[in-house]
């Protein structure tokens, strides 16, 4: 009877933890790919801290060294995970240099363990900065890894993130508190000025070639354009015009004929450009990144 009672208590504790959302959850992102054992090594370190950690992959196919792309993938998905989730993002061309290793706690209750190199450019303003701490490697580093300088993703970030997620350490025990700011990559901010909406061309979605911008719904609404009306769109790279186009603002791809361009609001509620069953990025030779910008007017 005693054993059955204890089993029942254990089940009750597990159920309460699940309801409270306190099960340790780790989400990993990197530019490592999955052809070798790098990602598995990070997961092994995390499980070594606590076998109860739930580990998920955001992606490991960020273009090598592309911090901008890593920043975008984080903001695309982070807010859909429950508060308390710990993210590890390792796109770290400066590994071993003096760039800081940090943990960001957002106002939404999420944690991001990463080099402070621009990876948090978008997620920090979207979710809000609650606090930032620098990882104290004297305490939060995998045992016997002190002479390894090129795999902080395994030795520092996965280890620290797992300890934080599992409750082995508190956020305050990560390390010293830093000013509530992070390194960001300069780019055109979304704004409305004198009848023109300005913004940045952030990325092209991989499968379809639709162009996604940072122009949010509220900024776009200032144009006061009815659905179906035509818009004049300019895209520039480094200030040089690459594309000058007229396209309608519609709510769905099927609102235009096959092969025709359109402007719509994507699943992140931001302005995007597409071709109905075509590839906008390829057809118009439009790229994306911090040097690419967009202008929209009626």
Q: Give the pair of three-digit tokens for residue 278.
A: 């075509």
pLDDT per position as a tens digit, 135-156: 998 888 888 766 666 678 888 9
Distance, CA of 75 to CA of 86 (rounded, Å):
14
Phi, psi of 106, rounded to the nearest 5 degrees: -90, 165
Exposure string over 236-252, b if 16+ CB within 10 A, otherwise e: bbeeeebbeeebbbbee
pLDDT per position as a tens digit, 42-101: 999 999 999 999 999 999 999 999 999 999 999 999 999 999 999 999 999 988 788 899
Q: Is 84 exposed, middle or buried (0-12, 13-18, 19+ CB in 10 A)?
A: middle
- Reported as a pLDDT band with limits 50, 70 and 90, residue 13 is very low
- Reported as a pLDDT band with limits 50, 70 and 90, residue 23 is confident
The answer to whether residues 25 and 161 touch, using CB atoms and an 8 Å cutoff, is: no
Higher-confidence position of 96 and 24: 24
Confidence at residue 6, expressed as pLDDT on a 0 to 100 scale: 38
Span of 23-37, 62-76, 93-107, 270-284 with lowest mean pLDDT = 93-107
Distance, CA of 214 to CA of 272 (rounded, Å):
9
Mean pLDDT of 265-289: 95
Distance, CA of 281 to CA of 206 (rounded, Å):
10
Domains by residue range for the chain, with CATH: 17-178 (3.40.50.10790), 191-297 (2.40.30.90)
Parallel, antiparallel, or unpaired for β 240-248 and 230-237? Answer: antiparallel
pLDDT per position as a tens digit, 208-238: 999 999 999 999 999 999 999 999 999 999 9
Confidence at residue 140, expressed as pLDDT on a 0 to 100 scale: 86
pLDDT per position as a tens digit, 168-210: 999 999 999 999 999 999 999 999 999 999 999 999 887 899 9
């Amino acid at each position: 009877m005693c054993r059955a009672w204890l089993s029942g208590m254990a089940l009750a504790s597990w159920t309460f933890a699940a309801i409270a959302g306190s099960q340790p959850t780790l989400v990993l992102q990197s530019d490592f790919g999955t052809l070798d054992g790098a990602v598995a090594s990070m997961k092994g370190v995390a499980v070594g801290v606590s076998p109860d950690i739930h580990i998920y992959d955001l992606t490991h196919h960020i273009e090598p060294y592309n911090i901008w792309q890593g920043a975008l993938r984080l903001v695309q998905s982070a807010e859909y995970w429950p508060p308390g989730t710990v993210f590890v993002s390792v796109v770290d061309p400066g590994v071993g240099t003096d760039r800081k290793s940090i943990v960001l706690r957002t106002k939404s209750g999420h944690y991001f363990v990463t080099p402070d190199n621009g990876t948090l450019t978008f997620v920090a303003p979207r979710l809000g900065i609650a606090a930032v701490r620098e990882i104290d490697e004297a305490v939060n580093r995998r045992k016997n890894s002190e002479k390894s300088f090129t795999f902080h993703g395994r030795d520092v970030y996965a280890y620290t993130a797992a300890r934080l997620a599992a409750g082995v350490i508190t956020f305050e025990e990560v390390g010293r508190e830093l000013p509530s700011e992070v390194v960001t990559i300069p780019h055109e901010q979304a704004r409305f000025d004198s009848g023109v909406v300005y913004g940045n061309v952030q990325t092209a979605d991989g499968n379809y070639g639709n162009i996604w911008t940072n122009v949010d719904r509220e900024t776009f609404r200032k144009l006061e354009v009815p659905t179906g009306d035509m818009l004049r769109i300019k895209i520039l790279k480094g200030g040089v015009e690459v594309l000058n186009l007229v396209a309608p603002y519609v709510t769905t791809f099927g609102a235009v004929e096959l092969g025709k361009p359109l402007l719509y609001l994507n699943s992140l509620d931001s302005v995007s450009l597409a071709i109905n069953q075509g590839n906008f990025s390829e057809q118009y030779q439009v790229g994306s990144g911090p040097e690419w910008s967009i202008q929209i007017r009626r």
